[in-house]
């Protein structure tokens, strides 16, 4: 299962919390997953429709615990969407009114008559606990996050502009500045930084998911450090091979022009070793030498050897100029 699924599963299992928080959750869930239908003569019906069965169970429990409402639960199978199942919670007439009153969608006059104010919910979120609950429910109803193994991305998407405003304000209050963009008629609020996402998970109460994410972050950092070390090694060995290549070409030039025997014995040996082992480092060449030589000793001899080749090349180019001048 996806990381997003695991986070939601953890959130659905959290205790229902305080009365104020239960209402905050029901409000956000109504905004993401709720709908209202009128059936004439002032009869109304509220439905919650969600894909996730654990979330349907949570809504069921919230309605029961907070408002003593027992919704009817049934499933709709979508043949066109590969058999995907939607859980539908339908609330009866009277209970729907009770819920709408609780969510401040309607007012009740003293004589008991109902006045419809708006069809959107309104819920004060002055308490920190309620802000957490609201965010948790918004994520359950409309959120998703990428597995931190792949990328750091957390988002909430909805067509409800006032909910976008509320969520932006809420996240900014928690020092989690958000970005938004439009996608297929929906506004997407998203967070990108690993730390911000981790803080958001913590704010929603998903502490196991915070640990899971921190684990991934540590593994990624360790892997990054290991990769940098390997790259550095490769870089060094490439440099070493380039140097060895230059040495081999220089020694070949010397062999052609003058022969190895023109060199002092100590340099003859090291030149021969280099020609026979073109891919070894100076340390390794030193180990092959009889008796073994230190890296700095090999380095010293190699430098003398290179100096001799440079002098030789200088001589050759002067000779060439001389010959040209003679022929003029
Ligand atoms: Zn609360």
Condensed to tens digits (0 to 9), the pLDDT of residues 200-213 reads 999 999 999 999 99
Listed residues 180, 205, 230: the one ending a domain: 205
In a domain, 213, yes or no: no
Of these ranges, 74-78, 115-119, 120-124, 225-229, the one predicted with the greatest mean pLDDT is 74-78
**Same domain, residue pair 274 and 184:** no
The model scores a pTM over 0.75: no
Q: Kindly state whether residues 153 and 273 are assigned to the same domain.
A: no
Tell me if 49 is assigned to some domain.
yes
Q: CA 202 to CA 15: how far, in whole Å?
A: 15
* 215 Cβ contact list (under 8 Å, min separation 6): none
Distance of CA 130 from the midpoint of ligand 1 (Å): 4
Tally of domains within the chain: 2
Query: What is the 6 CA–ligand 1 centroid distance (Å)?
Result: 24
Residue 78, token pair as written in the block: 């979508």
Residues 162 and 294 grouped into a single domain: no
Taking the centre of ligand 1 as the mean of its atom positions, its distance from the CA of residue 35, in whole angstroms, is 24
Question: What percent of the chain is modeled with pLDDT above 70?
Answer: 94
Say if residue 147 is in the same domain as residue 260: no
**Domain annotation covers residue 212:** no
266-299: per-residue pLDDT in tens?
A: 888 889 888 888 888 888 889 888 889 998 899 9
Whether 160 maps to a domain, the answer reads yes
Q: Are residues 94 and 167 in the same domain?
A: yes
Query: What DSSP line would sit under 162-218, residue for residue?
Result: HHHHHHHHHHHHTT---EEEEETTEEEEEE--HHHHHHHHHHHT-HHHHHHHHHHHH
Task: Please give the distance, rounded to the nearest whole angstrom, from the Cα atom of residue 23 to the centre of ligand 1.
Answer: 8
**Cα-to-centroid distance, 195 and ligand 1 (Å):** 25
Structural domain contains residue 225:
no
The residue written with tokens 């003859």 in the block is 268
Between the CA of 131 and the centroid of ligand 1 the distance, in Å, is 7
Q: Which of 71, 61, 119 is nearest to 93 (CA)?
A: 71
Which CATH number belongs to the domain containing residue 169 in this structure?
A: 3.10.28.10
- Of 205, 227, 256, which closes a domain? 205
DSSP 8-state secondary structure symbol assigned to residue 144:
E
Interval between CA 126 and ligand 1 midpoint (Å): 9
How far is ligand 1, taken at its centre, from the CA of residue 137, in Å? 13
Q: How far is the centre of ligand 1, averaged over its atoms, from the C-alpha of 19 (Å)? A: 7
**Do 97 and 30 share a structural domain?**
yes
Q: Which of 59-68, 171-180, 309-318 has the highest mean pLDDT?
A: 59-68
For residue 66, pLDDT over 70 is answered with yes
- For position 137, what pLDDT does the model report? 96
Do residues 147 and 246 share a domain?
no
Same domain assignment for residues 161 and 246: no
The Cα-based distances of 139 to 77, 127, 130, 193, 205 in angstroms read: 24, 19, 14, 17, 12
Whether residues 138 and 34 share a domain: the answer is yes
- Check whether residue 257 and residue 134 sit in a common domain: no
Distance (angstroms) between ligand 1 centre and the Cα of 105 equals 19
Question: Do 173 and 244 belong to one domain?
Answer: no
The predicted pLDDT at position 73 comes to 92
The alpha carbon of 309 and the centre of ligand 1 are apart by a number of angstroms equal to 84
Residue 265 forms part of a structural domain: yes
What is the structure's pLDDT at 186?
Answer: 92
Of the residues 182, 205, 228, the one at which a domain ends: 205
Question: Are both 57 and 180 inside the same structural domain?
Answer: yes
Rounded distance from Cα 106 to ligand 1 centre (Å): 22
> What distance in angstroms lies between residue 284's CA and the mean position of ligand 1's atoms?
70
Mean pLDDT, the chain, integer: 87
Residue-number span of the structural domain to which 301 is assigned = 240-321
Q: How far is the CA of 82 from the centre of ligand 1 (A)?
A: 39
* Assigned domain for 219 exists: no
pLDDT score of 47: 95
Report how far ligand 1's centroid is from the alpha carbon of 63 (Å).
16
In the chain, the percentage of residues whose pLDDT exceeds 90 is: 40
What pLDDT digit, counting tens, does each position of 85-104 carry? 899 999 998 999 899 888 88
Structure tokens at 194: 């690993």
In degrees, to the nearest 5, what angle opens at C-alpha 7 toward C-alphas 6 and 13?
90
CB 158 within 8 A of CB 29: no
Question: Within a domain: residue 298?
Answer: yes
């Amino acid at each position: 299962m996806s990381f997003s699924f695991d986070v939601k599963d953890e959130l659905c299992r959290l205790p229902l919390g305080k009365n104020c928080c239960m209402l905050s959750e029901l409000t956000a869930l109504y905004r993401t997953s709720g709908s209202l239908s009128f059936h004439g003569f002032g009869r109304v019906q509220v439905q919650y429709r969600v894909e996730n069965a654990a979330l349907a169970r949570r809504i069921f429990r919230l309605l029961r615990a907070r408002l003593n409402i027992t919704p009817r639960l049934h499933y709709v199978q979508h043949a066109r969407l590969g058999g995907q199942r939607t859980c539908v919670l339908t609330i009866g007439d009277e209970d729907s009114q009770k819920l709408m009153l609780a969510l401040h969608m309607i007012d009740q006059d003293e004589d008991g008559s109902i006045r419809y104010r708006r069809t959107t919910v309104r819920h004060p979120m002055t308490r920190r606990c309620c802000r957490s609950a609201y965010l948790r429910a918004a994520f359950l109803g409309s959120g998703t996050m990428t597995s931190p193994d792949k990328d750091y991305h957390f988002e909430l998407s909805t067509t409800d502009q006032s909910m976008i405003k509320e969520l932006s304000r809420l996240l900014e209050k928690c020092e989690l500045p958000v970005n938004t963009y439009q996608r297929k008629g929906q506004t997407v609020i998203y967070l990108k930084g690993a730390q911000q996402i981790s803080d958001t998970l913590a704010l929603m109460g998903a502490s196991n998911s915070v640990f899971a994410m921190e684990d991934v972050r540590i593994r990624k950092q360790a892997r990054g450090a290991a990769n940098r070390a390997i790259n550095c090694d490769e870089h060094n060995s490439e440099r070493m091979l380039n140097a060895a290549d230059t040495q081999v070409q220089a020694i070949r030039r010397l062999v052609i022009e003058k022969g190895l025997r023109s060199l002092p014995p100590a340099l003859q040996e090291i030149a021969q070793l280099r020609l026979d082992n073109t891919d070894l480092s100076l340390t390794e060449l030193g180990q092959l030498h009889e008796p073994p030589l230190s890296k700095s000793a090999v380095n010293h001899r190699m430098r003398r050897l290179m100096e001799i080749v440079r002098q030789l090349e200088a001589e050759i180019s002067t000779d060439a100029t001389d010959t040209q001048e003679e022929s003029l």
